[in-house]
Structures are given as structure tokens and as C-alpha cells.
Amino acid sequence: MSKDVQGFLKAVGRKLVNEAGREVRLRGVGFGSWMLPEGYMWRFPNAGDRPRRIEAMVRELIGEEKAERFWSLYYERYIAETDIARIAQEGFNSVRLPVHWRVLMEEREPVVFKENGFRILDQVIAWCREHRLYVVLDLHGAPGGQTGTNIDDSERDLPELFTDERNRRLTIELWRKLAKRYKDEWIVAGYDLLNEPLPDWFAKYNPLVMPLYRDIIQAIREEDSRHMIILEGAHWATDWTIFDDRPDDNLMLQFHKYWNNPDTESIRKFLDKRDEWNVPIYMGEGGENNKDWYAGAFRLYEDHDISWNFWTWKKMDTDNSPCSIRKPEGWEKLVAYLEGGEKPSPDTAERILWTYLDNLPIEACDYHPAVVNALFRRPSVRIPAIFYGYKGEGDGFGFGGKRETRTIGFRDTDGTDIRFASETEDATPNFQHGGGEPWQEKDWMYVHLEQGDWLAYTFETEKTHSIGVDIRASSTVNGSRLAVTVDGAAIGAAAPSPAVWTTVTLTDARLLTIGHHRIEIKAEAGTVDLMWLQLH
């Protein structure tokens, strides 16, 4: 349970501050596919890629009455108090809760709100208050759809939030309702007005985003003066050129990050905007890569004082989220039906769907602690050598003399000589989920160190214990040697074999305290190539 989670959060300059005046950095997980089911998390094809299509399939297979029962159980089991408790136990201090407007409103006029839907929100917010997790309310699917894609349950693959005045009005009224209901709820960290509005192919509507944001903010402020406003850029939250004049005093800006280089260059435009507007920034959604990428990307945010949120807590048949829902026997029958194949019998479909419901609680899932360890960089975790400190020379790395400069499109401004194990002409960084899983040395990058060069890696411990460090390295000349320190104390030296990758294990016999720690690896003699280190 985090001691930082106390009282309303507020943006003060570039920081988030709680009511006790203490700085808070959000570290959380998102509840993807809960209130807004996404087909890829169900391992469904395009014909089942969004809530409308999944709902239609369930109705067609088991009928309206049983379908209603299915969805009631789905909402109840997908996220329960046991999930909230485990998230808090792991050391997270927040969750991002994606909201689907059709769970809260009828699809008709006049506006009719669904009290049952709001009770779902009330319950999870109460659990988060009990277990001390801030809640970011995220309008993931707005009336009409803000993206025109499956992720907002778009009906016609068009961003009809921006083309139909009725949808615009409904969105403003929904936020007014949310603000009125939760204005006194301190565990709610802030209001994330729209998830990922307008991909590039709908960029002609970009000038409409900020006027809508302002109108939503006005409606919120008429009901609620205390909660923080959170704004996302266009094109998957990465295009911040839409931000013109700052629309509120209590404001945080949000970007998302997937499948690209975890380096400072990749987030420079967000850091610059933070400085320009003097506001905190939030990596509100990122993940879906491999654990090695997590060990780099989420330390990048930490080093740059950026709040972050991992996507996503739970999905089916996965190894890159903490919770993996077991795929029910016969699931392929549902996939085949969505693709135009034979319709399963009602009994068969019901058996498959109810098995799926039985597999939703965290107690029935396969849990992957290695994912959480990678996010927090705590043992046991493997850290690719290329993910040394992001705070710049003198803090995250240092050089002992002249060196060759290589430009490969990754960490080019950080000066370290990064090379590819394959040494092919067209080698480029690859951080896709699956890259290096299972590990293949030919797919990796490594850091070349000359005598005197050093690299630093920070990590965290959740309990007091001694630390072991495995170092994967190679040398180019006989007599090369690495010196390793933990929190400034030497734990030994490694002498990698020439011209071959070898693993050397060093152990620090001291009991490290709970909290943040630092490892430095220095080329004490000769030249050394460093591929990764494993903490255990």
C-alpha cells in the first residue's frame, strides 16, 4: 500500500503533488478489455475486434437472456477486489480505468444514464480507495467514437464524435455526470477526457479536438473544481501539435508509447512541451512488447520524472501481461464462427463461454511476476546493456577517452558505442514482442566499452536481500576486465573470454535495503562488449 496515495492529486508545475504536499509519480496498470472488450485480447479475428461485434456473437450463440447474464458475470469477474489487492501488493499506486460510454448511457435521446453501469465504477473506485490506488477515469470509447477504429467501438469506422453534434453533446453531458458524481472522491486522480483521438488518416478533424476539450472542461468545472484534467494528443496520443493554449490550471498531458525505441530522442517532443507549458506529463498507455523492452522503457520514464501506466493488466493466452486468462477448450469454434464458419450449438457455445467466465478471476489466471519485475526493474530481471541510465553523461554513463561514434537510430545522442550482434548492413533496433524471446544472441544489440568507460543501471528491491548479478559479455583483447559496484561498493571483477559471449556471475553478500539501488559496470582494463545483466 503506497504512502503517497493520500488526498486529491494536483498538478504543481511539472510535478504531481498530493494533499500532504508530497510529490507523487503515478505507476499503474490499465484495465484493457474490461468495460470495453477488445478482440485482440480475446484472440478474436477482425470480425470480433470490438464490443459491438463480440456482443452480437454472444447474442447469436446463446440468446438475449443468457447474453445479459454473461455480460453481468463478465464485468463482475474480469476485475474484482482480488485484482485490486494484488496490484497494490505489487507496488503500483494507480490504475487507469477505460470507460465505454454504452456501459453508462443508453443509445438514444433524451439522455438516459445506466445506474447499473455507474455502480460498476463505484465498486472499483471503492476497492481502490480501500487498497490505496489512485484511479484515472479514461473515456476510452466516446459517443460516436473519437478514433473511428475498433478501439472505441466505432459503429461505422468513422470518428462520429467529431461529425455529429449529438455525439459531441452526449460526450460533454457524460463528463458533466461523471464530474458531479465523483467531485468529492479523492481517490480519483483525474479525468482523462478522450483516449487517442483521431489517427492520422482522420487528421482533417484535428482542429476540432481542443474546442471539444475546452467545452468538456467547462462542463466539468461547473460541477467539480478540484480534479485534475488529463489531455491526450491526436494519433494514438502521440501528436501534441494540437495543443495550443493551456486550457486549465490543474492539467497533465498524456502520451502513449508502443513498439518503438525506448530512448530519450523518442520522447523529446513531450519533454519539450512539458517545459513549455510547465505541466506534468504522463505515459498513460504502453506495453504489448517483450519484457526486455519493458526493462528499458519504464526506466526511461522514471529517469525523466514521468508518470506511467502499463497496458494491460490482464488478457488471454499471453506472456507479456501480468495476468494471462487461460483459453477455454473449444475456443477455436468461436473464432471459426466469426470467420464465417459453422455455428456452434447453443449448448457448446454456452459451455465455452461459461468456461471463459470461470477463467477470468485472477485466482484462475496464470500469473507472470517477470512482467512486473521488468516494469519496476527488480530482481529477478534481465536488463539489456543498451538500457543504461537515461539522465545523461556523468550520471547514467561516462567515457574514458576518444571513441568511435556510431549512428544507428537508437540513443544516438547518448554517445555510447552500441552495435549489433548480427553486424549486418541493414540491422536496426527491434523491440517487438517476441524479439529475443526465446533469446537469440544474433538478434541483440550490445555496448562496446573502451578502458575507463562505465555504465550505470538503477533497480529496485521490495525486500531486504543479497543480490547476484549475471553479466553476459565478451572481450576483444586478452586481459580485459570489468569492475562492478553496487551502491558504490565493489562486488568483484569479471574477465570475459575473448571473442566469445560468456556469462560471469558476481554476488554481493550484503543485505540491500528496500528501495532504489545502482549498479555501475566499468571497463577497468582492455575493451569489453556488454550484452545484458541479470539480477537475481
Closest CA to 371 of 128, 151, 92: 92
Predicted pLDDT at 422: 72
Predicted pLDDT at 433: 44
Question: Residue 282: what are its φ and ψ, rounded to 5°?
Answer: -140, 125
Estimate the crossing angle of helix 331-338 against helix 346-358, to 10 degrees: 120
Identify the CATH homologous superfamily for domain 27-288+318-368: Glycosidases (3.20.20.80)
Question: Residue 125: what are its φ and ψ, rounded to 5°?
Answer: -65, -40
| Contact yes or no for 34/79 (Cβ under 8 A) | yes
Residue 57 CA, chain-centre distance (Å), reads: 29
Question: In the chain, which residues fall in CATH 3.20.20.80?
Answer: 27-288+318-368
Q: Name the CATH code of domain 377-535 (choices 3.40.50.720, 1.10.10.60, 2.60.120.260, 1.10.3720.10).
A: 2.60.120.260
Return d(Cα 461, Cα 154) in angstroms, integer.
43
Return d(Cα 9, Cα 22) in angstroms, integer.
10
Closest CA to 187 of 345, 39, 2: 2
pTM of the model: 0.96
Distances in Å between the alpha carbon of 424 and those of 103, 387, 427, 438, 481? 51, 22, 5, 21, 27
Question: In the chain, which residues fall in CATH 2.60.120.260?
Answer: 377-535
Predicted pLDDT at 432: 54
Question: Which letter does DSSP use for residue 342 in this model?
Answer: P
Tell me the pLDDT of the chain (536 aa) as tens digits.
Answer: 678 999 999 999 999 999 999 999 999 999 999 999 999 999 999 999 999 999 999 999 999 999 999 999 999 999 999 999 999 999 999 999 999 999 999 988 788 999 999 999 999 999 999 999 999 999 999 999 999 999 999 999 999 999 999 999 999 999 999 999 999 999 999 999 999 999 999 999 999 999 999 999 999 999 999 999 999 999 999 999 999 999 999 999 999 999 899 999 999 999 999 999 999 999 999 999 999 999 999 999 999 999 999 999 999 999 999 999 999 999 999 999 999 999 999 999 999 999 999 999 999 999 999 999 999 999 999 999 999 999 999 999 998 765 666 778 899 888 778 888 876 545 566 665 444 454 567 778 899 999 999 999 999 999 998 999 999 999 988 999 999 999 999 999 989 989 899 999 999 889 899 999 999 999 999 999 999 999 99
Q: Which long-range CB contacts under 8 A does 334-342 form with residues at least 24 apart?
A: 334/44, 334/48, 334/57, 334/61, 335/43, 335/44, 335/45, 335/48, 337/57, 337/61, 338/44, 338/45, 338/47, 338/48, 338/53, 338/57, 339/45, 339/47, 340/47
